[in-house]
Structure 1
């Protein structure tokens, strides 16, 4: 498939969205805490509250994307992100930090995957899966780029100046790309849903959406916990800064490799199967990380964790975008994914503070065990979700929906 430059551009903006609004926190938060004399629990606690606040705007943003187009949401998100990041560079007290952290996590939803996937679903309909995969392939390098970049920048400039630079990235790079996205009216997607849900639907749509919400929420907790606290946990386990940074940097290439394989073999792995592989891979990675608790801080454990967990994380991002499309179609995609995101964010918001508290109170072993337990919940929910799907009806080649189904999955047309 040939991809438009705008799809590639959207991958770049998603990289900026995650790098500046999410991955930057784990690197810059300790610097902020040190300058103001705050405990790390306070800083990560505010981050958790910010994630929770973001849940309140997820569904409204989804409805806004459905009604006016995701282009508007993404463009406003870039503008607001630039403003909040610049103000973080100017903050002077805890009140400023609390207010800006809350605003930043609400704004993040308008500059990250939920809004980006909605744009792709509106533009490409049934073909959005391939475009979503390409976007996640590019954005998978966010941690690989931003963690080392920010640590290097801290040797040259202050954390305040870094925030100004991050604001400029959103304003000068992400915003122009978002403004170039085509305008897509909500009514253009209304006819798509009837086609999409003919191929294969859940036996019980309500049960499917509940299981999807549980799986996404548990997976979100794991992603939030690891993304925000990994470097802290590895330091508590006794890993050196070099090994910890290497492990963090391996996650990006690993998730990109998994996404690339997922794209090249997309006809062999349906969205539900991809979701199962993602959840199991992350869980196995966390089991290996826990091995470092039992046997000591050996590099083989943390590096193997990074590879497996990174692969699972990469496929999880794709599953989050394509599962609702697979089960329910493109119409109302923004509203539906916004509602799922609300549940996921509420649970994810508990992760950074909970894991840091467990680390401080009971040690890194307890913190990692908690993450592993939640990952097992995600595996169970995904497996149950797969059981809700009934076999797809064989499409008729003579009908428009049948032609679309065959074109979307040529492997099935040969069966």
Structure 2
């Protein structure tokens, strides 16, 4: 495996990176990912109703802005990956933070749907530049081996609390000040933290004399990988699983209410998903030190499929609903820490961000489109079939990972 320091987007020089600065990078990214996901993604649900009222638009018309943003992120992911491998994360993530801050400020001023869609196009570009894919690429290239696993866990564990922090915080701001001032506050919070942390903590990749040779090497790695079956098994696994997780995230509350549970209980159970994702990442990281990462993730994905399949018959009782949500939520964030491990393990770090970006183009698009397809399916044939489709996607993802492990 290529030493992490030899291909680091953030390394300031050759050799093994200093542990002290590595810890500062992890701390900085943990903060920026938590605030970034909270402001650029999760807060939207709180603004949905007041925006629809002020813009005199329907809820689906306003919600389409977030779908557009996620699709733009997917489209930008391959290009962002190539830039990360070539130039590192410092300049890219700093520029993305500036763009994200400006876009949220512009969001607070929109007066029409076209303006809203334009703003969320910019937010989608910013998300591609500052959220998990680039952040984890910086971590992967800075650390190696066990230290890499711990660093990935550190960033994603903290960021897993983004929804738990920013949904109530945003709700409080909207209640006290209105949605437009609330967005200004969130923009200032995000920009005040992310811009300096990305600019001054992340390091530039060391300039090398053989940059054309390094570029050719990356291109060769990508060409070889994308022509072989293992890479496409990863694409299939994480696209299917990402879509399944997105469906549960969007539809769980509605389905639990349909099963007869009070809205407050349904919302509380759905709120557990973020906390459970942290627990799942912690346990999975420990298991991956004792067993192949692909097989550990495949097992978790299979358990999630079982939980989705059991929810229709068992979810009408409170214990049954709690059990199914706990089982599915345990694997909610497992894909986030497993994919970097598998990519770096097989292909090294020289072209990590490029390969990750290509997978993200499929997986992030699935996260945007799968909930829309699931809502259509639920309206046509009922939620039971949706849960069956989620179970099938999880089992398919698990099967792809098992096949990948044996290639």
TM-score (norm 1): 0.81
Contact 2:153 2:285 in 1 (8 A): yes
Q: Any residues of structure 2 matched to 1:290-309 within 5 Å, and which? A: 290-291=312-313, 296=316, 298-309=317-328
Look up the match of 1:145: 165
Look up the match of 1:219: 241
Select which of 77, 95, 98 maps to 1:76.
95
Select which of 327, 332, 342 maps to 1:313.
332
Select which of 250, 254, 266 maps to 1:244.
266
Supply the distance in 2 between the matched residues of 1:263 and 1:364 (Cα, whole angstroms). 33
- Bigger mean CA deviation after superposition, 78-87 or 274-283: 274-283
Look up the match of 1:27: 46
Residue 179 of structure 2 corresponds to residue 159 of structure 1: yes
- Bigger mean CA deviation after superposition, 169-178 or 230-239: 230-239
Q: Secondary structure at the match of 2:239?
A: helix
Residue 304 of structure 2 corresponds to residue 282 of structure 1: yes
Supply the distance in 2 between the matched residues of 1:33 and 1:66 (Cα, whole angstroms). 40
Q: Would you say how many aligned residue pairs link Structure 1 and Structure 2?
A: 376
Select which of 76, 88, 104 maps to 1:57.
76
Contact 1:25 1:228 in 2 (8 A): no
The structure-2 alpha-carbon separation of the partners of 1:52 and 1:332, relative to structure 1 and needing over 3 Å to count, comes to same
Q: Secondary structure at the match of 2:130?
A: coil
Look up the match of 1:392: none
Gaps of 5+ in 2: 1-18, 218-223
Select which of 195, 201, 210 maps to 1:175.
195
- Bigger mean CA deviation after superposition, 147-156 or 315-324: 147-156
TM-score (norm 2): 0.83
The structure-2 alpha-carbon separation of the partners of 1:222 and 1:28, relative to structure 1 and needing over 3 Å to count, comes to farther
Supply the distance in 1 between the matched residues of 2:370 and 2:382 (Cα, whole angstroms). 15
Q: Secondary structure at the match of 1:215?
A: helix
Gaps of 5+ in 1: 195-201, 389-415
Residue 30 of structure 2 corresponds to residue 11 of structure 1: yes
What's the CA shift for 1:55? Answer: 2.0
Supply the distance in 2 between the matched residues of 1:362 and 1:162 (Cα, whole angstroms). 40
Residue 208 of structure 2 corresponds to residue 208 of structure 1: no
Select which of 148, 159, 168 maps to 1:128.
148
- Bigger mean CA deviation after superposition, 9-18 or 56-65: 9-18
Q: Secondary structure at the match of 1:18?
A: helix
